[in-house]
Structure formats: structure tokens, C-alpha cells
Amino acid sequence: MTTPLRRRQVLGLGLAGLGTAVVGPLLWDRLQRSAARAQPAGAARLASRGGVADLELVAQATRGSLPGGPAELLTYNGRSPGPLLEVNAGDRVRLRLRNELRQPTNLHFHGLHIPPTGTADNVFLSVPPGGSFDYEFTLAKDHPAGLFYVHPHQHGLSADQVFGGLSSALVVRGDLDRIPEVAAAKETVLVLKDFASASGQEAAMGVGRMLGREGPLLTVNGAINPGLAIPSGGLLRLRLLNASNARMYRLALEGHSLVLIATDGGAIATPEPLDELLLAPGERADVLVQGNQTPGSYRLLNLPYQRSGHMGMAAAEDAPRTLATLSYAGTVPPLPLPKALIPVPALPKPERTRRFVMAHAMGTGMGGMKHDMGAMGGGGMAMGGMGMGFQINGQAFEPDRIDTRVALGSTEDWLIVNDDVMDHPFHLHVNPFQVISRAGRPESQRRWKDTVLVKAGEEVRIRVTFRDFPGRTVYHCHNLDHEDLGLMGVLQIE
């Protein structure tokens, strides 16, 4: 079933500097591939043709290097981030995942509205080392256009695999792309991802699994501080994906507004200029940048963010860091911003409200892990069970236990309560939701979301209609270390 890899060439890395590639173009491994596959090995972009996307992702460990020494990175088709996948609403998608890792893996089609069962967004299946699986599903003709996210969802290993480098951005073309002002903009997908240093010492200094691992190396599409170009008068459409394990991005572009046009699940109704944009792990946003300033260079910055309440934990950085640099090049007749995008209809009145309380605690359940309790040791075990981990409503994740049953077609409000000392981005699979209020304050504009940041001590009310697809799926914290440490529940739609 599997074809051995031939690793001919993996280049080392230079140290940080403008446009220094870290893991993108440099980490490319030539794969020996079957002739039946149309896409060239190691391509940066894989797209559908004639209504069919025939894709392959090979998950593998790839030798490379990071500042500080050699490192083993996890890649799709020899790349981190993996190839950009591009499909159209209405397409048939066939995606073969080949697992060349030494551990099981699988895929989650984060944000797509497809079945949670069978060969679609089924996170309960597992592809063993050396195995492969053919994912296959059809996107609805009216599936919203947007930026989605393909990544592993193997419980207990999700954080290791995503933090190690496994992710691909998935673009669905459709409604939003046909708006003339949007179509006229130059488009760039930016995958935001931090990597551990070669020594991995930061984990020993406190930013470990309980807070969620962050790395000191910030990359955009696998490069440190890449250049972005905009002509004077032009319009740039930045499509941003936070593919990090736990790091928050508080983005600002010097001298420019970020004009929000789409959130996780697609277009918003009216463009919204922002001074800064906060993206939690798993969140996406499309912003337009107008080339209307004095020609020159402007830094895309990641501003400091404190994600552990008032306590000072995980205060990894106290100064802005440069992610990319925008430079003016050339001139075009001024392109206008769109005035209106795509209406976001109000969802029906909710039939019921549920409450989900997230926290870390000493657990009493088994949490779906069959560990030898004797290995735990220590006084904390007097409390029994799993020991320290994360819980929703007092229970750690258990794959065989259904936590929430909802009726297909119904609408519910979910009150997501963070009773913890650190932030938790809450993610729901399969069905997009709308945020109704945060910390009691109503949202200014309806937006389609699938991941929402719930800050330490805060409450967020979301509204969701469970449309089209029955089956079993999950909701969880998208700080993936937290997910692996139990902060996930099972949802049955029936």
C-alpha cells in the first residue's frame, strides 16, 4: 500500500532574516510517487479540476533544521505547512492520507460543513503507521467560500502532530470570491505557525502541555519574516490561519487598517476596518489591506497577548514581534473596498440553552485513556482517576460516552463558560455557529464562526443550527494540548 520515501535532499537553514525560509521551500523532500497521481510531488498547491479534487497528503517525519540545531519536523508531502488545497463549492473531494509517521494519525476538515461520519469529517477513525485512508465527500453547491483547515485529530497526539508541523490550509472557492472588489484584490494565504526551538527548552521553562506549548520561532508559510508586496492603490487580501498549537496572534499592520471581510465560516455582511485582529488557534480571517499609505515598508506585527488571565503565566513575549513585512511596489489605479459582502442571516430562536463549563481539575473519570494508574505516583492520586487534566462539566473526554444529544435541524444556544485561569478557544465540528454575546455584551455584527475564544473567567453565548448531517462528532478546546488532556466532549446529532 505504501511507497518508501527517498529522501535525497533536505536543506539546512540559515538564521533569521528577511525572507529566510524555514520549513517551506527548504524542507522539501522528493517523494517517489505512483504515476497514477496527477499532482507533482511536493507541489505547494493542490487544486481540483473539472469538479473533482484528487488529492494526496503523505504525513511524514522530515529531517531538517531550526535555528539552534537539527530538528525532525512533521510534514505533509515534505512541507510544513503542507500544500495549499484549493477546491470549489460543489466539488467531489477525494483525499488519500498516507501515514508514514511512527504513530497513528487522521484528518479533521476544520470548518467544512460535511458529514461527521464515514469517509468525511470522521475524527473517530485512525490511520495506523504505514496505512492509508481515502477520505471522500462532496461539498454542497452552496457551501460558503472560505479558508478552512486540514489537520490531525488523533486524540492524545493532536498537539504533538500539529505542533510538530502538520497542517494544510484549504481554500473553498465560491460566493465571496465572485464579489468584484474582492476578486480584484491580490490574494495571499498566510499560515501562522510557531515551532519549538531545536533544544525544546521552553517547555521546561513553564510553557508546557498544561498551558499549551508555544515555540519561540514564529513563521508565516514556513518562513521567518517573509515579504509581501502591494502596489500603491492596490488591494491585498490576506487570508490568515492560526495553525499553531496554543499561540494567540494579536495582529496589527503598521500604518494600515485590516478590513475584515470573512471569519471562520465565510463572508460577513459588511466590511469592518480593524486596528488589530486577535486569532486564537484554529481561527481564520480574511482581511483586505488598501495600498493607500506613503510607499515604503510596513511590518505585520504580533502584539503581546496574555492568555492566562491575571496570573502572568505564559507571558512568553513582552514586545511586538515581526511576522512579515509589507512593501510597496508599483502603482495601479485605486481599487475600492467592497461596500457590502454577503448577508449573514439570523438563526432561528433557540429551542434550548445548554451550559458547558471548562476548567482544569483533578479528575475522577478514566478520560478515555487506559493508562496504568501505578505509573502516576504521588500524593495527588489519593483523589483517584486520571489525576490532573481538563474537563467540561466535570468530565474529561471519553470517546465512547455521548455527552450531548441534539436533534437534527434544531437550533440551540450554548453558553460556554471558562471557569479556569487560562483562555480556552472553543471549537465545534461540522456546523458553524454565531456568537450572540461575549461576557454579557452582544456582538456588533453576525459572523459565521466555528472557533471562539473564551477568555479566562469569561462566558460566551453561541447559537447553532444542526443542519443536514446526523452522526457523532465533537466539541473541544482548540488549544490542542488541552484537547489531548481531556477538554473535549462528544456530540450526537440525531
Partner 1 sequence: MPVTSYRSASCGCCKGWVQHMRANGFAVRDVVVADVAVIKRRLGVPARLASCHTAEVAGFALEGHVPAADVKRLLQKRPPLAGLALPGMPLGSPGMESAYGKEAFTVMAFTRTGAISSFSQHAK
Residues contributing to the site for partner 1 (CB under 8 A):
203-211, 308, 310-315, 318, 359-362, 367, 369, 371, 373, 375-383, 385-389, 419-421, 457, 484-486
User: What are residue 459's DSSP bridge partners?
Assistant: 417
Read off the C-alpha cell for 107. Answer: 484528518
User: Least distance to partner 1 from the beta carbon of 195, Å?
Assistant: 18
Provide, rounded to whole angstroms, the least separation between the CB of residue 192 and partner 1: 23
Considering the complex, state which of residue 218 and residue 386 has its C-beta at the smaller distance from partner 1: 386
Rounded-to-integer distance, Cα 17 and Cα 40, Å = 30
By CB atoms closer than 10 A (0-12, 13-18, 19+), residue 177 is middle
Q: In the sheet where 249-253 sits, what is the strand order?
A: 227-232, 321-331, 297-302, 249-253, 277-279
d(C-alpha 479, C-alpha 162), whole Å: 11
Question: Three-state DSSP class for 423?
Answer: coil
Q: How far is the CB of 421 from partner 1 (least distance, A)?
A: 5
Provide the grid cell at 375.
505509573
Cβ proximity to partner 1, 273 vs 380, nearer residue: 380
Closest approach, Cβ 76 to partner 1, in A, equals: 26
Contact 16, 67 (CB under 8 A): yes
CA pair distance 249, 252, nearest whole angstrom: 9
Q: How far is the CB of 440 from partner 1 (least distance, A)?
A: 18
Helices within 230-310 (DSSP H only): none
| Buried/exposed code over 268-281 (b: 16+ C-beta within 10 A; e: otherwise) | beebbebeebbbbb
Q: Which helix (H) or strand (E) holds 278?
A: strand 277-279
Please measure the distance between the N-terminal and C-terminal CA atoms of the chain and give it in whole angstroms.
36
Q: What does the alpha-carbon distance between residue 207 and residue 214 come to, in Å, rounded to a whole number?
A: 7
Alpha-carbon gap, residue 260 to 453, rounded angstroms: 17
Q: Which is nearer to partner 1, 371 or 405 (CB)?
A: 371
Pairing of the two strands 258-263 and 284-290? antiparallel
Residue 483: in which H helix or E strand, if any? Answer: helix 480-484
Contact between 105 and 67 under an 8 Å Cβ cutoff? The reply is no
C-alpha cell of residue 106:
487522521
- Strand-strand pairing, 168-173 and 84-88: parallel
269 vs 388 by CB, closer to partner 1? 388
Q: Which is nearer to partner 1, 336 or 380 (CB)?
A: 380
Q: Which parts of 124-282 fold into alpha helices (H)?
A: 158-164, 180-184, 201-204
What minimum distance in Å lies between the beta carbon of 35 and partner 1? 43
In whole angstroms, give the CA distance from residue 283 to residue 433: 13
Residue number, 324 or 396, with CB nearest to partner 1: 396
- Least CB distance to partner 1 at residue 460 (A): 17
> Which residue, chain included where needed, has cell 490550509?
169
Question: Minimum distance between the CB of residue 361 and partner 1, rounded to whole angstroms?
Answer: 4
CB of 492 to partner 1, least distance (A): 25
Q: β-pairing, 266-274 with 451-454?
A: unpaired
Report the nearest approach of partner 1 to the CB of residue 73 (Å): 21
Q: How far is the CB of 390 from partner 1 (least distance, A)?
A: 9
